[in-house]
Amino acid sequence: MMTDVIPIVYCVAPVHNRLETTKHFLEYINEQDYPAVRVIIVNDGSSDGTQEYLAQASRPNLTVLEGDGNLWWGGAMHLGMSYVMGIAQASDYLLMMNDDVRIGRNYISALVKESVSNAKVVVGSSQYDDRSGSRLSSGWHVDYWSLCLTDWKDQKASLDALPGRGVLFPMHAVFRVGNVNARLFPHYFGDIEYTARVSESGWKLLVSKEATVFTSSSSERDVKFREMGIFARYFSFKSRRNLIHKFLFFSVRGPLLLRIFVIPRFPLALIAKYIR
């Protein structure tokens, strides 16, 4: 008798030196009501006991890949995705995740349901502040002409990119588009560039109202940003406002003619932003 084969969801999550956070994340994943989940944890050289904990966490659906501490998000996600691309079927899914999230039991089921209900889509998550419950950015609208990204809100603009903190990709899309670009985007902008690339290849991006992610406060990240020196704020690859990565993003994504002339347009766009 023929039976329906349930697509496997391969959940890839980079981790580094936050053992308790990683423990909670694995608990959330193990409690999912979706019946076919495989977890790929990329441990990038943790020194806080994470490696030892993962080594003894003998779970049949858990695979641990080790980094040397220099992968950052881009390299870790690239390693995890390469592993999945070597074993997954085209009918399966890749779930791009961070470990610093709180999710409900039906989270993965909600993502898959949204994917099945819509043709050729990549599904993002509704993002909320874990403390206040206020809504965070669930995606971005990209204005390739003025070289700026703005929070996507209320469906009033096109959804052009998604945060990597909970995105479900059909493996069809991953096999077609390839891996994240860890060379140009070692930490920030990697998820933005990748989802924008997937969108440009013909896949629609949408945000599920049912699949919710609760994460650390955006205000806490803003405090860390303000604590950086001026140079680090705009040129350290640890900064989400790194101007080099923003320049590279607009050099590789968007209409070809705009990419060709990004060099003279980029400084003009910066000047225009700060004289408004």
Instruction: Give yes or no for residue 139 having a pLDDT over 90.
Output: yes
Lowest mean per-residue pLDDT among 25-29, 224-228, 233-237, 239-243: 224-228
Contact call for residues 83 and 18 (beta carbons, < 8 A): no
Residue 256 counted as domain residue = no
The dihedral through the CA atoms of 166, 33, 215, 233 has a sign that is negative
| Over residues 147-164, mean pLDDT | 87
Q: pLDDT tens, 229-258?
A: 776 777 776 777 888 999 999 999 999 999
Query: Does residue 133 fall inside a structural domain?
Result: yes
* Section 175-187 average pLDDT: 96
Domain range holding 17? 9-216
Q: Evaluate if residue 9 carries a pLDDT over 70.
A: yes
Has residue 17 been placed in a domain?
yes
Amino acid sitting at position 233 = R
Q: CA nearest 266: which of 252, 248, 247?
A: 247
Are 32 and 108 spatial neighbours (Cβ–Cβ below 8 Å)?
yes
What is the rounded CA–CA span in Å between residue 182 and residue 175? 17
Whether the CB-CB separation of 9 and 112 falls below 8 Å is answered with: yes
In a domain, 114, yes or no: yes
- Is residue 1's pLDDT more than 90? no
Number of structural domains, the chain?
Answer: 1
- Tell me whether residue 235 is in a domain: no
CATH number of the domain encompassing residue 42? 3.90.550.60
Q: What is the pTM of this model?
A: 0.91
H/E stretch holding 233 reads: helix 230-235
Considering only the C-alpha atoms of the chain, give the largest distance between any 2 of them, rounded to a whole number of Å. 69
* Any domain includes 252: no
Q: What is the pLDDT of residues 197-220, one digit of tens each?
A: 999 999 999 999 999 999 975 544
